[in-house]
Amino acid sequence: MSNPQDIPGQAPSSKLWGGRFSETTAASVEAFSASIQYDSRLFRHDIMGSKAHARMLVQQKLIAPEEGEAIVRGLDSIQADIEAGRFDFRPELEDIHMNIEKALTDRIGEAGARLHTGRSRNDQINLDLRLYLRDECDAFDTLLADLQRVFAQLARRYLGTIMPGYTHMQRAQPVLLSHHLLAYASMFGRDRARLSDCRKRINVLPLGAAALAGTGLPIDRAMVARELGFAGVSDNSMDTTADRDFVLETLFCLNLIQIHLSRLSEELVLWSSKEFDFVRIGDRYCTGSSLMPQKKNPDIPELVRGKSGRVTGALMSLLMTMKGLPLTYNRDMQEDKEPLFDALDTVRSCLAITTEMLAHTEFNTARMRAATTGGFMTATDLADYLVCKNLPFRQAHGLAGRIVARCQELQCELGELTLEEMQSFSPLIEEDIYTRLSIEGSVNSRTSAGGTARSRVEEALNTVEQQLGIHS
Ligand code: ARG
């Protein structure tokens, strides 16, 4: 059948949207604009959304019940073929939506051509991403809980081990190793809370916004929302088709997870150096040097730390893509997927390998304990002691500082000064100072809520274990 606008000798467009076109798309344009290479991973969610949409079209009498059934069956067979690796994705069909719609129409005929009634790819892609990310949020919650569980197990195993706590990478005050480990359990706990909050904003049905303005067809958005388990429907069709906030927010959540992993990795790299020698990562999780026979390298934490760059890059990339976009949908937004998928894959693998590796990591408790001596780490306790004797803190701080200087002169520890020597600085100092200056005394005195005293850490550990369903 010839089209009056056809250029003689050239076939008109065979695209699903090809009606008004008189020329076929340039092969270079098809190659340049196709997203099927990466958005094919959305197939399950695309099909899930289409099935719910088809059921609604039947309920609303926009298509016949037999057509609805044919669509659902056709989509199921397509899903089975994709899962079995039997489906031929075609770049000239651009994206996952049109690959599936075309296959459906090829399989079931006219009914397939009715599926796109009352919707647009602009609300459809938004729907697919929301369905996909909802699952991802749940999967990440599990991964994060697994990681928290390892921290809780380590904190339980090493309860009682004392190590230096650092500020500015200088020995600051003695702390329990378990306190340090539980700090990470707290961080990953916040990451879970952040994702679950983000999930609330993801969990809103965009379908029905259509191309940008809604539709005049009598669709039932609430029904589709119910079918797909959404908490509600989006409220402005223009905002809906223009919105990628939920992708950006997910990327930000992923970024904080990755940054937490990266800080942990940095500590593992540092702590496994001979200079620290605080930690031994299991051989199975380390690698050797092709040149230096003695080497055992912490490549896993190094890679996790290194991969933070691309995860942050993904967030920056999409922020920049969105920055200048007018409402509503613009094809630029197709550029959301590669960074998003890469960030998801990267953070997922980093979380999994870190959890596995930590379960095979041991701490050198003797080395940690030894590192608490020699740094005057109980100087704050000395100042606090004087505060308890009613000396203003600033004066107490100055006095403790002078006593530290004296120790440096004598090359001894705070607790090694004689009582006379100490009393020459202040008559407020009495015999009981020595328990306060001991490393254990210092740790256990820190009973403020969230502090490192063993009693507090045990409390915190019990809470975390309870939250994670660990029975100790
Ligand atoms: N592949 C497109 C994307 O990812 C789907 C939406 C396309 N819409 C359009 N009008 N071309 O953004």
CA distance linking residue 400 with residue 180, whole number of Å = 26
Residue 233: its pLDDT value, please?
Answer: 98
Quick one: pLDDT at residue 65?
Answer: 98
Instruction: Give the separation between CA 454 and CA 329, rounded to whole angstroms.
Output: 56
Secondary structure percentages of the chain, helix, strand, coil, to 5: 65, 5, 30
Q: What angle do CA 357, 359, 363 make, to 5 degrees?
A: 95
The structure's pTM equals 0.93
The pLDDT tens digits of the residues spanning 102-127 come to 999 999 999 999 999 999 999 999 99
Residue 6 pLDDT: 44
For residue 472, the model assigns a pLDDT of 65
User: Is 95 close to ligand 1, i.e. is its CB under 6 Å away?
Assistant: yes
Q: Note the pLDDT of residue 17.
A: 82
Is 344 within 8 Å of 139 (Cβ atoms)? no
Residue among 17, 121, 127 to mutate when testing ligand 1 (max atoms within 8 A of CB):
121
Distance of CA 94 from the midpoint of ligand 1 (Å): 9
Query: Which ligand 1 atom lies nearest to the CA of residue 95?
Result: 1
Single-letter code of the amino acid located at 254: L
Q: Contact 237/206 with Cβ under 8 angstroms?
A: no
> What confidence score (pLDDT) does residue 294 get?
82
Query: Is there a contact between 125 and 101 (Cβ–Cβ < 8 Å)?
Result: no
Examine the pLDDT at 393 and tell me if it is beyond 70. yes
Task: Indicate the SS3 state at residue 119.
Answer: coil
pLDDT at 15: 81
Kindly report the protein residue whose alpha carbon is nearest to atom 11 of ligand 1. Answer: 331
Does residue 247 have its Cβ closer than 6 Å to ligand 1? no
Domains observed in the chain: 26-114 (1.10.275.10), 122-370 (1.20.200.10), 379-468 (1.10.40.30)
d(CA 185, CA 154): 11
With 60 as the cut, is the pLDDT of residue 7 above it?
no
**Which residue's C-alpha comes closest to atom 3 of ligand 1?**
334
Q: Both tokens of residue 459?
A: 């409390």
Q: Are 104 and 78 in contact (CB under 8 A)?
A: yes
Determine if ligand 1 sits within 6 Å of the CB of residue 122: yes
As a dihedral over the C-alpha atoms of residue 458, residue 461, residue 462, residue 467, rounded to 10 degrees, the angle is 170
Q: Closest Cα to atom 4, ligand 1: which residue?
A: 334
pLDDT tens per residue, range 248-280: 999 999 999 999 999 999 999 999 999 999 999
Residue 68 half-sphere exposure toward CB, CA atoms < 13 A = 15
Q: Which residues of 353-371 are buried (b: 16+ CB within 10 A; e: fewer)?
A: bbbbbbeebebbeeebbeb
Rounded CA-CA distance 256/343 in Å is: 12
Task: Provide the annotated active-site residues.
Answer: 168, 289
Label residue 375 by pLDDT band (50, 70, 90).
Answer: confident
Q: How far is the CA of 388 from the centre of ligand 1 (A)?
A: 68
> Average pLDDT, stretch 49-64?
98
> Above 90 in pLDDT, residue 2?
no
125 CA from centroid of ligand 1 (Å): 7
Specify the pLDDT at position 91: 94
Distance CA 408, CA 375 (A): 10
Q: What pLDDT is stored for residue 19 in this prediction?
A: 82
Give yes or no for residue 35 CB within 6 A of ligand 1: yes
- Choose among 83, 119, 84: nearest CA to 101: 119
Residue 358 has pLDDT above 70, yes or no: yes
If you measure from the C-alpha of residue 336 to the centroid of ligand 1, how many angstroms do you get, rounded to a whole number? Answer: 11
Asked if omega into 435 is within 30° of 0 (cis), the reply is no
Tell me, in angstroms, the distance from the centre of ligand 1 to residue 133's CA: 18
**Given this model, what pLDDT does residue 4 score?**
42
Tell me which residue of 249, 248, 254 sits closest to 308, measured CA to CA.
254
Contacts of 19 (CB under 8 A, 6+ apart): none
Is the CB of 331 within 6 Å of ligand 1?
A: yes
In this predicted model, what pLDDT tens digit does every residue of 203-256 receive, in sequence order? 999 999 999 999 999 999 999 999 999 999 999 999 999 999 999 999 999 999
Given a cut of 50, whether residue 322 has pLDDT beyond it is yes
The pLDDT score that the predictor gives to residue 5 is 43
Spatial contact of 402 and 424, defined as CB atoms under 8 Å apart = no
C-beta 125 within 6 A of ligand 1: yes
pLDDT tens digit sequence for 402-413: 999 999 999 999
User: pLDDT at residue 3 above 50?
Assistant: no
In whole angstroms, what is the distance from residue 155 CA to residue 153 CA?
Answer: 5
Query: Quick count: other Cβ atoms within 10 Å of Cβ 53?
Result: 26
| Closest atom, ligand 1, to C-alpha of 35 | 1
CA 76 / ligand 1 centre spacing (Å): 23
Does ligand 1 lie within 6 Å of residue 328's CB atom?
no
How remote is the CA of residue 1 from the centroid of ligand 1, in Å?
29
Q: What does the alpha-carbon distance between residue 228 and residue 52 come to, in Å, rounded to a whole number?
A: 7
- In the chain, % of residues over pLDDT 70: 97
Residue 334 CB–ligand 1 contact under 6 Å: yes
- CB-based contact 101:115 (threshold 8 Å): yes
User: In this structure, what DSSP letter does residue 21 have?
Assistant: -
Q: What is the pLDDT of residue 18?
A: 81
156: Cβ contacts below 8 Å, ≥ 6 apart: 178, 461, 465, 472
SS3 state of residue 360: coil
- Ligand 1 site, residue 121, Cβ cutoff 6 A: yes
List, for residues 278-292, the tens digit of each pLDDT value: 999 998 988 887 888
Work out whether strand 204-205 and strand 232-233 pair parallel, antiparallel, or are unpaired.
Answer: parallel
Q: What is the pLDDT of residues 323-332, one digit of tens each?
A: 999 999 999 9
Residue type, 333: M
Q: Which residues of 88-120 are buried (b: 16+ CB within 10 A; e: fewer)?
A: ebeebbbbbbbbbbbbbbebbeebbebbbbbbb
At residue 1, the pLDDT reads 38
* One-letter identity of residue 429: I
* pLDDT attached to residue 12: 63
Residue 190 Cα distances to 203, 257, 384, 392, angstroms? 20, 9, 32, 37
SS (H, E, C) 395-447: HHHHHHHHHHHHHHHHCCCHHHCCHHHHHCCCCCCCCCHHHHHCHHHHHHHCC
- Span from the CA of 403 to the centroid of ligand 1 (angstroms): 70
* Structure-token pair, residue 378: 């109980």
Quick check: CB of 126 below 6 Å from ligand 1? no
pLDDT at position 165:
97
Ligand 1 pocket, mutate which of 38, 125, 335 (most atoms under 8 A from CB): 125
| Distance from residue 213's CA to the centre of ligand 1 (Å) | 16
Among 20, 45, 94, 95, name the best residue to mutate to test ligand 1's pocket (greatest count of ligand atoms within 8 A of Cβ): 95
The CB of 456 under 6 Å from ligand 1? The reply is no
Confidence of residue 11 (pLDDT cuts 50, 70, 90): low
From the CB of 321, is ligand 1 less than 6 Å away? no
Which atom, in ligand 1's list, is nearest to the CA of 336?
Answer: 4
